[in-house]
Amino acid sequence: MNIARSEALFSRAQQYIPGGVNSPVRAFRGVGGTPRFIARGEGSRIFDVDGNEYIDYVCSWGPLVMGHRFKPVIDAIADVLETGTSFGAPTERETELAELIVDAVPSIEMARLVNSGTEAGMSVLRVARGFTGRDLTVKFEGCYHGHVDSLLVKAGSGIATLGLPDTQGVPKAFAETTIAVPFNDLDRIESVFRERGDRIAAVIVEPVAGNMGCVPPLAGFLEGLRAITARYGALLIFDEVMTGFRVGYGGAQERFGIRPDLTVLGKIIGGGLPIAAYGGRAEIMKKIAPAGPVYQAGTLAGNPVAVAAGIAMLRYLKSHLEAYSRMEQLTAQLTAGLPACVSANRTGSMYTIFFERGPVRDYEEAKRSDTLEFSRFFHHLLERGVYFPPSQFEAGFVSAVHTGEDIAHTSKAMAEFFEPGSNQASA
């Protein structure tokens, strides 16, 4: 496979951009080799600058639920560009997108639009602290909620991929406001609340973890979080940046029947453009300025182009709910029939194949995965035109425009890796 132009571009990028990339996982540090520089996408495929074609299971890390260059989104962007790109003043579309979110997500009565998942995570914690008058946050090991100082404690995503112990640059006092506990461990949550429950403002959780790889909640885990936080007067925050509008139109909270107090959204609500939101009960959201005393602002919040793309995406999904059953069926086919040397986790159209025999239920079990073997697996697939996430600790995604042929080609490539005697797979 010729990748000469990607190699040249990566060398050039490293002179001007730290590590040559604008988000760490893109650098292929978790798998080795040269990251592919992408020229364009179409449907379920991406094409690099050297002309190589790949079936894409990254889908821009989740947002492209209808694949690349989805026509309703492209048309909406073209339409709004006729009017301008940014105003710094209210527009009708902002209210329309907020209405679609409130209509879809069971727990959200009001929503505030922001520019990124990190911004939404930072803001939702501030309003939780302001509403409760408490300072502490509980998070889960291996869950990533953006690069917010206080939440970069035992975080997943690029922190896990690069093997960092957390990160430098976070004051100790910030980190001390966060309590990290194992995912899927209700006993530890109970213990933490018994000791410090009157100081805990909120528990924030990915209802389906996606940043230590895909790790679903065990039966009763989310229900237990809801009961414990309610008992102690703390808020339950679902980080649905990844799961929102992906594991179901109403997100993980609709799928599992749990109603959090606050929710963080991103990715799909922008149709591939940068946007995020946080929302929840009206009495909490009314604490946010200018309605209340908790300040949060953003010059480009509610950007017309991103909002138009999000409206087009959510409108389409609302009227084509069959897309969810199709994605789930395709993902089930993709992760079926794997050998005992790996473990496949899946919820809806999110999945991860761990190079670990036992079940993967938390961060410690995820970290036992054989990352060197995963790297060989990744490159085996890449050479055969299949683009998986370039990290053992990131979830993969299937879109509604992946075809049966895409899945069959990918399954064949995976089976070749695991064939007895293959020099790619370990015994």
> Of 269, 299, 319, which residue sits at a domain end?
319
- Looking at residue 372, what is its pLDDT? 97
Sheet bearing 396-397, strands edge to edge = 343-347, 350-354, 396-397
Together in a domain, 250 and 396: no
Asked whether residue 233 carries a pLDDT value surpassing 90, the answer given is yes
Q: Do 164 and 292 lie in a common domain? A: yes
Q: Is residue 427 part of a domain?
A: no
Query: Of the candidates 303, 319, 335, which is a domain's last residue?
Result: 319
Based on DSSP, count helices (H) and strands (E) in the chain, helices before strands. 15, 14
Is residue 127 over pLDDT 80?
yes
Q: Both 139 and 287 in a single domain?
A: yes
Q: Residue 96: is its pLDDT beyond 70?
A: yes
Q: Which residue has the tokens 């990915």?
A: 206
**Where residue 37 sits, what CATH number does that domain have?**
3.90.1150.10
Beta bridge partners of 203: 138, 236
Q: Are residues 292 and 182 part of one domain?
A: yes
Within-domain flag for 163: yes
Confidence of residue 423 (pLDDT cuts 50, 70, 90): low
> Could you tell me if residue 349 is inside a domain?
yes
Residue 290 has pLDDT above 70, yes or no: yes
Q: Which positions are annotated as active-site residues?
A: 144, 239, 267
Are residues 390 and 252 part of one domain?
A: no
- Average pLDDT of 77-92? 97
pLDDT at 202: 98
Same domain flag for 298 and 386: no
- Those residues whose C-beta lies under 8 Å from the C-beta of residue 419, and which sit 6 or more positions away, are 425
Mean pLDDT of 71-98: 97
For 53-96, the DSSP string reads EEEESSGGGTT-TT-BT-HHHHHHHHHHHTT-S--SS--HHHHH
pLDDT digits (tens, 9 = 90+) for 237-264: 999 999 999 999 999 999 999 999 999 9
Percentage of the chain modeled with pLDDT above 90? 90
Identify whether residues 326 and 404 lie together within a single domain.
yes
| pLDDT for the residue numbered 157 | 52
Q: Is residue 379 part of a domain?
A: yes
Q: Give residue 154's pLDDT band: very low, low, confident or very high (50, 70, 90).
A: low
What mean pLDDT, rounded, does the chain reach? 94
186-206 confidence digits (pLDDT tens)? 999 999 999 999 999 999 999
Quick check: is 422 in a domain?
no
In the chain, what percentage of residues exceed pLDDT 70?
A: 95
Q: Tell me, what's the pLDDT at 139?
A: 95
Q: Across residues 323-345, what is the average pLDDT?
A: 97
Give me the phi and psi of 183, to 5 degrees please: -65, 145
Residue 171 confidence class, pLDDT cut points 50, 70, 90: confident
State the pLDDT confidence band at 313, using cuts at 50, 70 and 90.
very high
Same domain, 150 and 206: yes
Using the predicted structure, report yes or no on whether residue 389 has a pLDDT greater than 50.
yes
Whether residues 75 and 144 share a domain: the answer is yes
Is residue 391's pLDDT more than 50?
A: yes
**Has residue 161 got a pLDDT over 50?**
no
- Average confidence (pLDDT) over 286-304: 97
* Cα 227 to Cα 196: distance, rounded to the nearest angstrom: 16
Query: Which of these, 35, 140, 192, lies nearest to 363 by C-alpha position?
Result: 140
Range of the domain at 58: 4-69+321-417
pLDDT given for residue 417 in this prediction: 97
Instruction: Indicate the Cα dihedral angle 153, 154, 158, 161, nearest 10°.
Output: 160
> What is the pLDDT at residue 214?
98
254 plus 228 within the same structural domain: yes
User: Which of 54-58, 159-163, 210-214 is the least confident region?
Assistant: 159-163
pTM for this model (two decimals): 0.94
What DSSP string describes 157-175?
THHHHHT-SS-TT--HHHH
Structure confidence at residue 427 as a pLDDT band (50, 70, 90): very low
Do 170 and 194 sit in the same domain of this protein? yes
423 located within any domain: no
HSE, side-chain direction, 13 A CA sphere, residue 200: 28
Average pLDDT of the segment spanning 109-130: 97
Please determine, for residue 176, whether its predicted confidence score (pLDDT) is greater than 70. Answer: yes
User: Which CATH number covers residue 157?
Assistant: 3.40.640.10
319, 339, 365 — which closes off a domain?
319
- The pLDDT of residue 167 is 60
Give pLDDT tens digits for 362-388. 999 999 999 999 999 999 999 999 999
* Structural domain includes residue 231: yes
The answer to whether 252 and 241 are in contact (CB under 8 A) is no
**Domains in the chain, number:** 2
What pLDDT was estimated at residue 162?
46
Q: Confirm whether 425 is domain-assigned.
A: no
Residues 327 and 250 in one domain: no
Strands 235-240, 276-280: parallel, antiparallel or unpaired by DSSP? Answer: unpaired
77 band by pLDDT with thresholds 50, 70 and 90: very high
Q: Which two tokens stand for residue 144?
A: 């990533």
Does pLDDT of 166 surpass 70? Answer: no
Residue 165 has what pLDDT? 46
